[in-house]
Structure 1
């Protein structure tokens, strides 16, 4: 198998991992933040942030940044696919850095705050959509490279 095609397959595994993860975060994990009592909240959030780097943060940031490398080193696909993948990754990165990380920091310092938790859920929707778009584009890339059969 060509290296470019292998890169696409590895990218697909990452993209679909992050897809499942972002929907779990959006539908289950972030809403559960509001179920933790105020007295235990800071301890809970610190425990959460200690546990997520390997399964969540590293794959997430990789999914934001690797589309540019895939466009250069991956197999030939229509330009719009690469562009959409890169733009969706950048959108996810911007939402993460500008909206989500600051809210997590506020929750970790100040404890439970229902308004911030609501913002975390609401502002995560664009990231959820961008990662979902990456998964759709990745599926189309796989079809383009490996055929519809």
Structure 2
């Protein structure tokens, strides 16, 4: 089923990006000197949109397509997981990033890592579900 395959591709893109950011970018935030923090964080925030945005669009479209053409338990659970990843981003990670705009602290860095770990798990689950639907 092509809809699930497209959703799986976008889901693995988001999952892989999430785990890469978890292992590299976010821990590296602690190493940015305070006098360079604002510029670094602003650049990260601008650039990450180009990595995440297209995958969200593709995943959203493929998920809707899958739901409309093959409505069932697997497509619904996948949609809930995919939407959950987006909601975790909007409700948790984005507010932490907003607070980080004022300066990095270890507490905010830890909060961002927690938010990202949860959304990476959820996006991974969505990718697994879509892969199962494509099989």
TM-score, normalised by the number of residues in structure 1: 0.80
Q: Unpaired runs of 5+ in structure 1?
A: 144-149
Query: Structure 1 CA distance, aligned partners of 2:86 and 2:60?
Result: 6
User: Following TM superposition, by how much is the alpha carbon of 1:66 offset from its aligned partner in structure 2, in angstroms?
Assistant: 4.6
Aligned CA-pair RMSD: 2.0
Matched, 1:91 2:94: no
- 1:53 equivalent among 39, 49, 52: 49
Matched, 1:33 2:29: yes
User: Following TM superposition, by how much is the alpha carbon of 1:47 offset from its aligned partner in structure 2, in angstroms?
Assistant: 0.9
- Count of paired positions: 135
Matched, 1:80 2:73: yes
Distance 1:103 1:117, change over 3 A: same
1:88-127 matched pairs, under 5 angstroms: 88-108=81-101, 110-127=102-119
**What's the counterpart of residue 138 of structure 1?**
130
User: Following TM superposition, by how much is the alpha carbon of 1:90 offset from its aligned partner in structure 2, in angstroms?
Assistant: 2.2
The one of the two structures with greater contact order (alpha-carbon pairs below 8 A, sep at least 6) is 2
Query: Structure 2 CA distance, aligned partners of 1:60 and 1:114?
Result: 29
> In structure 2, the residue corresponding to 1:111 is in which secondary structure?
coil
Query: Structure 2 CA distance, aligned partners of 1:123 and 1:64?
Result: 21
TM-score, normalised by the number of residues in structure 2: 0.87
**What's the counterpart of residue 120 of structure 2?**
128
Any conservation in 1 of the 2:6–2:62 contact (CA below 8 Å)? no
- Runs of 4+ aligned residues of structure 1 deviating over 6 Å after TM superposition are none
Q: Which has the larger radius of gyration?
A: 1
Q: Unpaired runs of 5+ in structure 2?
A: none
Distance 1:94 1:133, change over 3 A: same
Query: Structure 1 CA distance, aligned partners of 2:56 and 2:22?
Result: 14
The C-alpha deviation readout for 1:109-144, integer Å capped at 9, x for no partner, is x1112111110001222211110101111121111x
**What's the counterpart of residue 9 of structure 2?**
13
